[in-house]
Amino acid sequence: MEMSITVATTVLPHEDARRVVESVQSLFPQWIIENIPEQHEYPSMRKPVRLVGEAESLDLVIEGAAKQRILDTALDAMTLELVGDSTSFSLSRQAAFANKVSFVVEERPIGGVMDVTLTGTDLGLWIEQETWHDGRHYVPRRVGDELSMNSDGDPREWFDKHGRKTMNDINGEED
């Protein structure tokens, strides 16, 4: 599928712009920014600078989510703002600097975020396919299903009183 991937982040006056770019490039190595703000002595009088560039793929994001076993979280976070063939989501720059994938849903973490915007035909289906894993044989998932996280990032519960998942609860059937 042909897809447009835009990655943006804001460099605050106290931040080292080169390190910010490094953190973004740890997940999007082909993200190129031409005008990186210069580092200033503290206290810096520089205004916040928004860096925006195109990326070629989400491969490292998806691979990282798979390695961390958070593909369902990726499905949910990447589609919370899905409208038609476009979506946006945020990732933690600090986690990226440590080669981890961490989706930011509500509160902005220390270390800043990178905002990712995806646009492409049948984007929801593509995200479902990219985040697929064997566990979906047992607990099928779809964009916006009843198992997706709440809009504030909290999980929805689908376990019985003994902590076991129940297919009846998942499928909405009565015992």
Question: pLDDT tens-digit profile of 56-96?
Answer: 999 999 999 999 999 999 999 999 999 999 999 999 999 99
**In the numeric block, which tokens belong to residue 17?**
């712009």
Alpha-carbon gap, residue 150 to 106, rounded angstroms: 11
Q: Which residues contact 161 (CB under 8 A, 6 or more apart)?
A: none
Alpha-carbon gap, residue 79 to 36, rounded angstroms: 30
Query: Over the chain, what is the mean pLDDT?
Result: 84
Q: What are phi and psi of 14, to 5 degrees?
A: -85, -5
pLDDT at 140 over 70: no
Residues in the chain: 175
